[in-house]
Amino acid sequence: MSIERELFITEVALRDGSHAVAHQYTTEQVTQVAKALGEAGVPYIEVSHGDGLGGSSLQYGLSRTNEMELIEAAVSVCGSSNIAVLVLPGIGTIKDLKEAAKLGAKMARIGTHVTEADVAAQHIQTAKELGLETVGFLMMSHMASVHKLVEQAKLLESYGADTVYMFDSAGALLPHEVKERIHALRQSLSVNIGFHAHNNLSLALANTLAAIEEGATRIDGSIRCLGAGAGNTQTEVLVAVLDRMGISTGIDLYKIMDTAEEIIAPILQAPQEITRDSLVLGYAGVYSSFLLHAQRAAKKFGIDSRDILIELGRQKVVGGQEDMIVDVAAELAKNKAIYSV
């Protein structure tokens, strides 16, 4: 199948991948990766703490390196690529956004829970005033009906977002569900439509292709699948598949494959594969960045991390409620002790 369409990929390994390395990126690593991605022709490279600007904290995980240093380093070597930053209102501030723009960031990606788009208004408007290409996105999109998703997306459009993304943050959606949602967004909005997948059910690439079929033209990928949970749509694989489909991304296939093999692979603390815990993220519909937090809590309280994740899914815990992970683990351990007596 050949689809002639302008399509842009945002590489998220230096942001979403921060979760997978416990936010321990060094300036040297970011410099090396951003330079290679720029040389490969990747149009947008997202750089920040996994939970966005201002995310370095005890609750979300402390960064090894100040993210503004990482942004500045990436800007200095990325060539014609544009550096993007993530802002989650309530975590990242207007001040953070202005500082990132001053350092040379060209795109602001403003994210909220799928039912809370209204909290993004000020951040989107400020990003536009700063002259940044502005993306609004809705996280955990599996948790809302198609009607609610469209309603919230229209709010992001009304605030001035150039692009509206649907985030499958838990990697819980199936291809037909992606198609239905993207189709509805495409029919209802006049701005660009984007899609961000996670691979917890091994459906990231399939879901991404479904989104593209329905009109999404802004797509996220993580090189070598370096992202939260089981990672995102694998960039180098996506580029190869799109090339086979006749869709140009402007990314050099050999260079992106070499970057994955020679630069990203040594950074990985473990192969990005679908483990029992990351599988449960998709199965239970749990925020992908909860993975390491749940594993730490399981070890601390001597219980199965899968039980924590299943309970988090049952309680519909969302991004920003990381403190609930320890509470849930403690309660499960308490109940286990009672029933074992």
Q: Where are the domains of the chain?
A: 8-264, 289-340
CATH architecture of the region 8-264: Alpha-Beta Barrel (3.20)
Between the CA of residue 280 and those of 22, 195, 275, what are the distances in Å? 20, 22, 9
Q: Is 196 annotated as a binding residue?
A: yes
What is the reported pLDDT for 334? 86
Across the range 169-173, mean pLDDT stands at 95
pTM of the model: 0.91
**Fold: same for 8-264 and 289-340:** no
183-188 long-range contacts (CB < 8 A, ≥24 apart) are: 183/214, 183/215, 184/146, 184/149, 184/150, 185/149, 185/150, 185/153, 186/214, 186/215, 186/216, 188/150, 188/153, 188/154
Residue that has been written with the tokens 């996105």 in this structure = 137
Q: Is 288 annotated as a binding residue?
A: no
Across the range 271-300, mean pLDDT stands at 90
The C-alpha atoms of residue 79 and residue 90 are separated, in whole angstroms, by: 32
**For 50-71, how does the pLDDT look when each residue is reduced to its tens digit (9 = 90+)?**
999 999 988 888 999 999 999 9
What burial letters (b/e) apply to 39-71, b meaning 16+ CB within 10 Å? bbbbbbbbbbbbbbbbbbeeebbebebebbebb
**For 215-263, how does the pLDDT look when each residue is reduced to its tens digit (9 = 90+)?**
999 999 999 999 999 999 999 999 999 999 999 999 999 999 999 999 9
- DSSP state letter for 261: I
What is the reported pLDDT for 215? 96
Across the range 163-191, mean pLDDT stands at 97
Q: Is 16 annotated as a binding residue?
A: yes
Q: Is 169 annotated as a binding residue?
A: yes
Closest residue by Cα to residue 334 from 296, 301, 300? 301
Lowest mean pLDDT among 15-24, 159-168, 317-326: 317-326
Burial of 202: CB neighbours in 10 Å, binned 0-12, 13-18, 19+: middle
What is the reported pLDDT for 340? 62
What is the reported pLDDT for 238? 98
Q: Is 15 annotated as a binding residue?
A: yes
CATH architecture of the region 289-340: Orthogonal Bundle (1.10)
What is the reported pLDDT for 247? 94
Tokens of 241: 């598949």
Across the range 152-169, mean pLDDT stands at 98
- Mean pLDDT (the chain) is 94
What is the reported pLDDT for 271? 85
Band of residue 3 on the pLDDT scale cut at 50, 70, 90: very low
Percentage of the chain exceeding pLDDT 90: 85
Tell me: pLDDT of 337 over 80. Answer: no
What is the reported pLDDT for 5? 55
Name the more confident of 83 and 292: 83
Q: Which residues contact 329 (CB under 8 A, 6 or more apart)?
A: 294, 297, 298, 300, 301, 303, 308
Q: Is 304 annotated as a binding residue?
A: no
The C-alpha atoms of residue 141 and residue 295 are separated, in whole angstroms, by: 24
**For 85-129, how does the pLDDT look when each residue is reduced to its tens digit (9 = 90+)?**
999 999 999 999 999 999 999 999 999 999 999 999 999 999 999
Band of residue 21 on the pLDDT scale cut at 50, 70, 90: very high
CB 214 within 8 A of CB 179: yes
The C-alpha atoms of residue 317 and residue 320 are separated, in whole angstroms, by: 9
Q: Which residues contact 262 (CB under 8 A, 6 or more apart)?
A: none
**For 140-159, how does the pLDDT look when each residue is reduced to its tens digit (9 = 90+)?**
999 999 999 999 999 999 99
Say whether 49 is catalytic: no
What is the reported pLDDT for 155? 98
Helix/strand/coil for 15: coil
What is the reported pLDDT for 339? 59
Closest residue by Cα to residue 198 from 224, 167, 175, 176? 167
